[in-house]
Chains A and B, each alone.
Chain A
Amino acid sequence: MAGLELLSDQGYRVDGRRAGELRKIQARMGVFAQADGSAYIEQGNTKALAVVYGPHEIRGSRARALPDRALVNCQYSSATFSTGERKRRPHGDRKSCEMGLQLRQTFEAAILTQLHPRSQIDIYVQVLQADGGTYAACVNAATLAVLDAGIPMRDFVCACSAGFVDGTALADLSHVEEAAGGPQLALALLPASGQIALLEMDARLHEDHLERVLEAAAQAARDVHTLLDLVVRQHVREASILLGD
């Protein structure tokens, strides 16, 4: 039998979305009181938690301190119960390390690190449930957490994935669409300036199509930004009411 039809003739995807539509996004900031900043995000069935500490003094070896800017330390882990089959190791495997590295690159580009020389900023991200687009969810959660911690950033970092099926670019891939094996592109965007903090793609895609896929991902990232902006404003409004009283 033929495989799953990822995009129907009528233009609907497996879960009923159209090509450029995001999954439902829900987010909250300030979920943990002890941490300097924290946030929780749900993008469809992908759920991620981010916690930020810092900026604080360098922990461990002093040699790691950078004279002109802050050190961004990112750790990624995904809960053992996050996938269909229970995972053995929550963190420390190669995939987690790579993801940590990517997050670090992303946030080094966004956080104004030169304001805090010789200090360290820790970002811990945990995926509670994985249903495609984990990188994007992690970046979006971490952005909110960094904002919550009050660390100055150039801009929001908004991330979204995009794929390419039957000549159409699909935004925000779910696990089913990722598993189908087509090309997948992850993009972290600074929406105000349109600068790209990170762009990653596995699988092959002809350069003729790249622009379209990139544009779909960028548009989706801008949509994410609109939503995150609302969340932040809502949070600030709530906080100011509490403070004001």
Chain B
Amino acid sequence: MLKSKTFLKKTRAGGVMKIVREHYLRDDIGCGAAGCTACGGAHEGPALEPQPQDPASSLCPQPHYLLPDTNVLLHQIDVLEDPAIRNVIVLQTVLQEVRNRSAPVYKRIRDVTNNQEKHFYTFTNEHHRETYVEQEQGENANDRNDRAIRVAAKWYNEHLKKMSADNQLQVIFITNDRKNKEKAVEEGIPAFTCEEYVKSLTANPELIDRLACLSEEGNEIESGKIIFSEHLPLSKLQQGIKSGTYLQGTFRASRENYLEATVWIHGDNEENKEIILQGLKHLNRAVHEDIVAVELLPKSQWVAPSSVVLHDEGQNEDDVEKEEEREQMSRRHLFTPADKRIPRIRIETRQASTLEGRRIIVAIDGWPRNSRYPNGHFVKNLGDVGEKETETEVLLLEHDVPHQPFSQAVLSFLPKMPWSITEKDMKNREDLRHLCICSVDPPGCTDIDDALHCRELENGNLEVGVHIADVSHFIRPGNALDQESARRGTTVYLCEKRIDMVPELLSSNLCSLKCDVDRLAFSCIWEMNHSAEILKTKFTKSVINSKASLTYAEAQLRIDSANMRDDITTSLRGLNKLAKILKKKRIEKGALTLSSPEVRFHMDSETHDPIDLQTKELRETNSMVEEFMLLANISVAKKIHEEFSEHALLRKHPAPPPSNYEILVKAAKSRNLEIKTDTAKSLAESLDRAESPTFPYLNTLLRILATRCMMQAVYFCSGMDNDFHHYGLASPIYTHFTSPIRRYADVIVHRLLAVAIGADCTYPELTDKHKLADICKNLNYRHKMAQYAQRASVAFHTQLFFKSKGIVSEEAYILFVRKNAIVVLIPKYGLEGTVFFEEKDKPNPRLIYDDEIPSLKIEDTVFHVFDKVKVKIMLDSSNLQHQKIRMSLVEPQIPGISIPPDNISNMNLNGPEKKKMKFEK
């Protein structure tokens, strides 16, 4: 059954080396058609249907399989993913080429292949005795592969005929390469282009929209004017980058000005640089997030970023173009992406009337040199603009949050219900069910991942335990469930929805440390004296039985009430006492207390519309729980770093560069306050001192500003970095251990800790620092995106809120002063907005901007940072796609600019309570 064949596979230049590889040809590779007798029993896994009931094709009425070539797979993956397309043979040659050329498409095609219902079959033609072809002299690799594909197609057709004489089954070769198609037809293989085939599927006309338009002929715009210069060939680029004439970087379109973009140069040794690009011609068809090569202009032509806000909306010529096209050919339309950084896209569709006013997904196929906009094709219809579900879907997509329901493969790794703790589970586990453990969480929390206890020991010391849900017990390394949670990285909390990282059975049931049930936990137990000094630390896997699930408010009530003396209350009081000492110690060390406005929506229970906004309230118990979580995280960080100095997953918060603080220092100066920023401690102290008796909210505002100066905290692998310091918490080492249900980082940390204490076994990826670094990179990205998604969700709900509320006037404070606008914060709603002073159709007022003491003089009124103003808030829905909150000035009154105050302005000036920081620790 083995045929061996040895041949010279390739020679590599640069010290020419001869590489000899064996290549075995087999005769046991099945054709994939279920029930094929010629190669019976040779196939496993997903197979082709014996009699495919495919959508009727007018070109090919009899049942058939499809066999696409590489380019079809690469470019028309959207079509192939459609449920209507089934029974496709993917050749190994094709798959390898796809793998080399585009990792995302390769991943998608693998997903499709794994889907049983799609009946995709991968045929290993390179190792099949009859379909292997050798590269001929003078034939290049591409031609060889094309030939290999044709040979395989031919073999298939002959093979299927052999199956039974009256078999009508055919294999149709799909290629967009004209020459290849001609050759195939010559050889007697039924071949069509992708377009021909898809158009022939009369039952599924909507598929045509999903075709990527690649053929240049059909799409040329009448005005043959060439707008853009040609892109350089890759070889030239690589040469240029090597020699330093070109710089490679990530293209980032500006949100504010569509004619401007920056390129981030990511050099390895030098600092990251930013290069500005201006003008359509220089942008040369790059789209946001592309990797581009740029050449610097001579210094004389260097420009500064124009601090002007410029949107594409006012472009008349485009609108004209749009209409023209409608008239000429009713199938072509311009698509306006929700993200302003992406240019508009020309698409072709027949369902324009149904798609109007809807959110749709479009893929970009190409950008011809003579077109102002790229060409694309329609992929998916999401729903009506403004619908809550649609908008949520959009913001999830926009922030790349994986939110599809968990696949069967993932769910198959869940424990079977009814679940109970078995003997086996008890191995390496301590029974802590007798302890009086309780959990304290926000109201309505179903994924409880932490619980606490505190009791007095016989020697007078206190025993404090933090018990974290043992998620790593259920998520075993390497399986589909693990991979999916690793990919999601974090649970995303939107205003009315939660996108779970792990399936609900785990997040809200088996892992959730609910009261009065036995749950598996990972415990961190300290012995402390009464001044909160740690005497002993112990980590163990355990079984606990929580005695109570409290909310912050309930816990606070218990602590405060004088006549409650039960175990839970004493435990809470002990914890609270220790937490206060711990917090004091932490602040003495220089931990920062920052602030950011946070709001919570009260939802209507039926319509899920927001009916009221409330800023989050913080109680002692919040800080109590937080204090112990910090302590547990720090203890665990020390332990895993001790045990795995090279591959501990830690979290650091780099100190911001001094220039970041400039704005804070300047703003404080304008109020005659001094902020020291040399160390975290001095910053914390100066923030504490910065109070004004006449202006109590000032301190909060300063803290909000200080938060903006901070760097993003990140996960990293200890072997890849040497700076572990967490600036915000003033801790030399830190990690995340306490929320494994909602963060994947914690799952990894749990595994590391379990190995460190010998409760679980390790696996190769865990001790591979490069793999760990990759995980960290993904986690950091997901966390950032989750945060953005959260903010976007709040913004959307704020809009809904104001839509129902109508126009209101509120008191606000100026946070930043810009050249043509001020950014204000409305404490009541925790809402931030921009008040513009320049409008398109109004005469511009006289604006004088002073950079030194950030201030803006409009006519005769001067605005400083922290000034109190009154603004009117309304919902601007003039742009269907981007509804936004618009604010305009009411007080102080500036003739011609401010708006007369509303009579029905509902002024409610109970300044909200001081809020605490909530940047991700």
Residues of A within 8 A of B (CB): 1-2, 5, 8-10, 12, 14-17, 21, 23-24, 44-45, 84-85, 131, 167, 174, 176, 183, 204-208
- Of A2, A12, A45, which one neighbours B124 at CB under 8 angstroms? A12
- Of A12, A23, A84, which one neighbours B127 at CB under 8 angstroms? A12
9 extra interface residue pairs, beta carbon distance < 8 Å, beyond A16-B126, A45-B21, A183-B764:
A8-B92, A12-B124, A16-B127, A17-B24, A23-B4, A44-B22, A131-B20, A204-B767, A206-B763
Distance between A101 CB and nearest chain B CB, rounded to angstroms: 29
Is there an interface contact between B764 and A206, defined as CB atoms closer than 8 Å?
Answer: yes
Chain A residue with the shortest CB-CB distance to B17 = A84
Whether B19 sits at the interface, judged by CB under 8 Å, is yes
Distance between B377 CB and nearest chain A CB, rounded to angstroms: 27
Whether B183 sits at the interface, judged by CB under 8 Å, is no
Is there an interface contact between B20 and A206, defined as CB atoms closer than 8 Å?
Answer: no
- Of B18, B23, B113, B122, which one neighbours A15 at CB under 8 angstroms? B23
Is there an interface contact between A84 and B124, defined as CB atoms closer than 8 Å?
Answer: no
Residues facing A in B18-37 (CB within 8 A) are 18-26
Is there an interface contact between A23 and B110, defined as CB atoms closer than 8 Å?
Answer: no
Is there an interface contact between A174 and B22, defined as CB atoms closer than 8 Å?
Answer: yes
Distance between B778 CB and nearest chain A CB, rounded to angstroms: 16
CA distance A193 to B441 in the complex (A): 63
- Of B6, B17, B92, B103, which one neighbours A2 at CB under 8 angstroms? B103
Distance between A180 CB and nearest chain B CB, rounded to angstroms: 13
A-B Cβ contacts below 8 A, count: 64
Chain A residue with the shortest CB-CB distance to B100 = A1
CA distance A209 to B126 in the complex (A): 31
CA distance A14 to B9 in the complex (A): 12
Chain A residue with the shortest CB-CB distance to B106 = A2
Distance between A28 CB and nearest chain B CB, rounded to angstroms: 17
Give every chain B residue within 8 A of A21 (Cβ-Cβ): 2
Is there an interface contact between B17 and A85, defined as CB atoms closer than 8 Å?
Answer: yes
CA distance A87 to B354 in the complex (A): 71
Q: Given A16-B25, A206-B763, is A9 in contact with B113 using a C-beta cutoff of 8 Å?
A: yes
Chain B residue with the shortest CB-CB distance to A183 = B764
Give every chain A residue within 8 A of B103 (Cβ-Cβ): 1-2
Whether B762 sits at the interface, judged by CB under 8 Å, is yes
Whether B761 sits at the interface, judged by CB under 8 Å, is yes
Is there an interface contact between A45 and B764, defined as CB atoms closer than 8 Å?
Answer: no
CA distance A236 to B23 in the complex (A): 33
CA distance A45 to B7 in the complex (A): 11
Whether B442 sits at the interface, judged by CB under 8 Å, is no
Residues facing A in B750-769 (CB within 8 A) are 761-764, 767
Give every chain A residue within 8 A of B915 (Cβ-Cβ): none
Chain B residue with the shortest CB-CB distance to A26 = B4
Q: Given A12-B124, A174-B22, A176-B21, is A206 in contact with B100 using a C-beta cutoff of 8 Å?
A: no
Chain A residue with the shortest CB-CB distance to B18 = A84
Interface centre among B6, B22, B122 (most CB of A within 10 A): B22
Give every chain B residue within 8 A of A207 (Cβ-Cβ): 761
Residues facing A in B89-135 (CB within 8 A) are 92, 99-100, 103, 110, 113, 122, 124, 126-127
Chain A residue with the shortest CB-CB distance to B4 = A24
Is there an interface contact between B22 and A23, defined as CB atoms closer than 8 Å?
Answer: yes
CA distance A85 to B16 in the complex (A): 9
Give every chain B residue within 8 A of A204 (Cβ-Cβ): 764, 767
25 contacts between A and B (CB under 8 A): A2-B103, A8-B124, A9-B110, A9-B122, A12-B124, A15-B24, A23-B22, A45-B6, A45-B20, A45-B21, A45-B22, A84-B17, A84-B19, A85-B15, A85-B17, A131-B20, A131-B22, A167-B478, A174-B22, A176-B21, A183-B764, A204-B767, A206-B762, A206-B763, A207-B761
Is there an interface contact between A2 and B99, defined as CB atoms closer than 8 Å?
Answer: yes
CA distance A207 to B103 in the complex (A): 33
Distance between B90 CB and nearest chain A CB, rounded to angstroms: 10
Chain B residue with the shortest CB-CB distance to A84 = B17
- Of A10, A84, A205, which one neighbours B122 at CB under 8 angstroms? A10
Interface centre among A17, A207, A208 (most CB of B within 10 A): A17
Q: Given A15-B21, A176-B21, is A208 in contact with B761 using a C-beta cutoff of 8 Å?
A: yes
Distance between B67 CB and nearest chain A CB, rounded to angstroms: 16
Please encode chain B, from 759 to 801, with 1 for each CB lying within 8 Å of some chain A CB and 0 for all others. 0011110010000000000000000000000000000000000
Give every chain A residue within 8 A of B24 (Cβ-Cβ): 15-17
Give every chain B residue within 8 A of A167 (Cβ-Cβ): 478
CA distance A131 to B9 in the complex (A): 14
CA distance A10 to B6 in the complex (A): 22
Distance between A40 CB and nearest chain B CB, rounded to angstroms: 17
CA distance A9 to B110 in the complex (A): 9
Distance between A27 CB and nearest chain B CB, rounded to angstroms: 15
Interface centre among A1, A5, A9, A85 (most CB of B within 10 A): A9
Give every chain B residue within 8 A of A23 (Cβ-Cβ): 4, 22
Distance between A175 CB and nearest chain B CB, rounded to angstroms: 8
Give every chain B residue within 8 A of A45 (Cβ-Cβ): 6, 20-22
Leading 9 A-B pairs by shortest Cβ distance: A16-B127, A16-B24, A24-B4, A15-B22, A84-B17, A44-B22, A12-B124, A10-B124, A15-B24
Give every chain A residue within 8 A of B17 (Cβ-Cβ): 84-85
Give every chain A residue within 8 A of B124 (Cβ-Cβ): 8, 10, 12, 16
Distance between A110 CB and nearest chain B CB, rounded to angstroms: 29
Distance between B129 CB and nearest chain A CB, rounded to angstroms: 10
Distance between B1 CB and nearest chain A CB, rounded to angstroms: 9
Give every chain B residue within 8 A of A131 (Cβ-Cβ): 20, 22
CA distance A15 to B18 in the complex (A): 17
Give every chain B residue within 8 A of A10 (Cβ-Cβ): 45, 92, 122, 124
Interface centre among B26, B126, B127, B478 (most CB of A within 10 A): B127
CA distance A17 to B2 in the complex (A): 9
Give every chain B residue within 8 A of A174 (Cβ-Cβ): 21-22
Give every chain B residue within 8 A of A17 (Cβ-Cβ): 2, 24
Distance between B118 CB and nearest chain A CB, rounded to angstroms: 14
Distance between A179 CB and nearest chain B CB, rounded to angstroms: 11
Give every chain A residue within 8 A of B127 (Cβ-Cβ): 12, 16
Give every chain A residue within 8 A of B22 (Cβ-Cβ): 15, 23, 44-45, 131, 174
CA distance A205 to B767 in the complex (A): 11
Give every chain B residue within 8 A of A1 (Cβ-Cβ): 100, 103
CA distance A207 to B764 in the complex (A): 11
Interface centre among A8, A176, A205 (most CB of B within 10 A): A8
CA distance A2 to B19 in the complex (A): 20
CA distance A44 to B92 in the complex (A): 23
Chain B residue with the shortest CB-CB distance to A23 = B22
Give every chain B residue within 8 A of A44 (Cβ-Cβ): 4, 22
Give every chain B residue within 8 A of A8 (Cβ-Cβ): 92, 122, 124
Residues facing A in B60-113 (CB within 8 A) are 92, 99-100, 103, 110, 113
CA distance A37 to B359 in the complex (A): 80
Give every chain B residue within 8 A of A205 (Cβ-Cβ): 764
Give every chain A residue within 8 A of B761 (Cβ-Cβ): 206-208
Give every chain A residue within 8 A of B21 (Cβ-Cβ): 14-15, 45, 174, 176
